[in-house]
Structures are given as C-alpha cells and as structure tokens.
Amino acid sequence: MDALPNKTFTALIVLTLLWFLEGWIPFFSEFNQSGKRLPHAWKNLAVGAFNALVLGGLFAGTMVLLVTKAQGAGFGLLIWLGLPTWLEIPLAILIFDAWMYLWHRMNHIVPFFWRFHQVHHSDPRMDVTSAVRFHPGEIALSFLARFIVVPLLGVTLWELALYESVLLPVILLHHSNVDLSDRADAALRWVIVSPNMHRIHHSDLQPETDSNYSSVFSWWDRMFRSYRKREDYRAIRYGLENLTDSKWHTLKGILETPFRRNEK
C-alpha cells in the first residue's frame, strides 16, 4: 500500500483546487455568502479526517493481512482467470467500480445501511467537502464488506490503491459546487460521473435521491436502469426532508443522526 500517501496528497491538492474554483465560478452562488463556507466545510472535513486517519488506520492492517493471505493462497477471481497484467489491471478497476455501484445502491435499499448513509445525503449545501461527509459507522460497514469482497475478487493491494487514486478526484469533482458548462458536463458523464449527474442524486426528492449511484464510471446507472437526468439542474434542492433542522448539521448532530428516534 505504498501508494496510499501519494493518493492522500493528490486528494488534498484536488480538494484545495476545487475549493478555490467554487469561490471563483460557483454553480450555486448563494453558497458563497460571506461567513458561511468555512462553518459548513469544517464539520465535513472534521468527519472526513477522523474517518481517514482513525478508521482508515485501524482497518488498513486487516485489509493488508487478508489480501496478502488470499494472494498467497492463489484465491480470488482475477487470480483464477490468470490474465496478463495489461488486462488484469483495467478489469480490476472495472469490477471494483461495479462493486462500488452495488454497495452504494444497497446503502439506499437496506434500512440499516441507510440510517448511516443518510448523513451523507442530509447536507443542505453540497460542495467539495461533502465528498468526505460520511458517518464513521458507514465507513466501518464499508470496510467490513471490503474484507470479504476484495479477496473474493482477487484484487491486489496495488490495484485497490490505484482504483482509489482514480476514485477520490472523481468524487471530489462531482460533489463540487463548480459551474461547468452544460456541454462539458454532458461530455464528462458519458464516461465518468459528472457534477450535474451527481447533483440529482443529492436532490431532496426521493425518486432523484434513489438514482445515479455510480462512483467513477457513469455507465453502471445506464446499464442497471438507475440513470436519471433533468432539464433544470439549478432548481435542485439538496438534503433530506426529515433532516432539515439545524441541530442535525452540527458535528454532534451528524454523529447522532443514525441513532435518532422516529426514523422515517
């Protein structure tokens, strides 16, 4: 996993660049009102930093151990296929991105998973920092699932790190409040998830929330009929209707959201 420090450094550069672009060419200009960007951002970044540094550090060793043992035993789909390296690497990225689509969709369908995933969707002012706003419980569940899926697929640690090096800049971009031209956005979403495509996914309208699940490559949604678009992206309202109270958008509220009563 030697590529991990470089992956983190690249993500920080992309996040910083997009943060400044949001200030220069924002899609929703009202998000740039004086004194509101930093209070919104620090809570998302605090949760993201905890997940990366604490949970990432806690679970990384287990992932290394499991994948090393599986590879040593010749266990895993990609190992059994015996493909040349030039073919195995892109296939590993593709099948893991397909898994990410499936996992994301499960987080919307399974009520227990949704309790944690709704923290990500509750953000009423989506910007680049929203890309790291995930409840620690969701991150832990994601790692537990990966402990099974990664060895089964036969994905190596290097291939996993390579995938995440692609994933992080893409998710930072499609959560950002940067105003791309309609033509640029439409061109992007033929291959990867674009900002407008993902803005629909963060809509407060449930049919839109339950669409556009892809992480990197946009074609999974077309393939599995969960792709959605709309005419007026600037009419989108972010967040969840049952989590509009400001108390759920404090750091304490973000952490308590999955455990609140009267769950809808």
In a domain? residue 30? no
The residue segments making up the domain with residue 158 are 4-23+36-259
pLDDT of residue 34: 64
Mean pLDDT by 10 residues, the chain (264 residues): 62 94 95 83 96 92 96 96 96 98 98 98 96 97 97 96 95 97 96 98 97 98 97 96 93 95 57
Q: Is the residue at 167 inside a domain?
A: yes
CA 50-102-122 angle, to 5 degrees, is 45
Whether residue 219 is contained in a domain is answered as yes
pTM of the prediction? 0.93
Question: Which residues, 6 or more positions from 93, have their beta carbon under 8 angstroms from its beta carbon?
Answer: 159, 162, 163, 166
**Residue 259 amino acid letter:** F
| Residue 148 located in a structural domain | yes
26 is written with which tokens?
């924002």
- Report the pLDDT value the prediction gives residue 174, as an integer from 0 to 100: 98
Cα dihedral across residues 178, 183, 188, 190: positive or negative: positive
Evaluate whether 14 touches 169 at the Cβ level (below 8 Å).
yes
Find how far residue 54's CA is from the centre of its chain.
Answer: 18
Q: What is the pLDDT of residue 32?
A: 84
Do the domain assignments include residue 112?
A: yes
**Tokens 């990609």, located at residue:** 78
Is there a domain that residue 29 lies in?
Answer: no
In whole angstroms, what is the distance from residue 42 CA to residue 234 CA? 25
Task: Decide if 31 is inside a domain.
Answer: no
**Structural domain tally of the chain?**
1
Confirm whether 264 is domain-assigned: no
